[in-house]
């Protein structure tokens, strides 16, 4: 995930891993992440964060065949 915006994505932390065959189906796992965005030289705008977050979602879908919910 950091590779998508290495100058702004400071930290990616796995918060939760949840498996429920009845809810998600066999082999499906739900993950929750916390992403910390930071710039050392300026204030980030909401628009910048939204665009980076969308890129992270697309990379996650493509690289891991994930469904973002």
Q: What is the pLDDT of residues 3-45, one digit of tens each?
A: 777 788 999 999 999 999 998 888 899 999 999 999 999 999 9
Per-residue burial over 9-40, b if 16 or more Cβ lie within 10 Å, else e, is beeeeeeeeeeeeeeeeeeeeeeeeebeeeee
Domain assignment present for residue 69? The answer is no
pTM: 0.76
pLDDT of 47 above 90: yes
Longest pairwise C-alpha distance within the chain? 47
Residue span of the structural domain in which 22 resides: 2-64
Q: Considering its fold, how many domains does the chain have in total? A: 1
Domain assignment present for residue 59? The answer is yes
Could you tell me if 60 and 68 are in contact, meaning their C-beta atoms sit under 8 angstroms apart?
A: yes
Which CATH number do you get for residue 22? 3.30.70.380
């Amino acid at each position: 995930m950091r590779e998508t915006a290495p100058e702004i994505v400071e930290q990616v932390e796995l918060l939760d891993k949840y498996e429920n065959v009845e809810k998600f189906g066999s082999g499906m796992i739900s993950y929750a992440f916390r992403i910390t965005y930071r710039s050392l030289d300026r204030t980030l705008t909401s628009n910048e964060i939204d665009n980076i977050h969308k890129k992270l979602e697309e990379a996650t879908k493509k690289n891991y065949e994930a469904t973002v919910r």
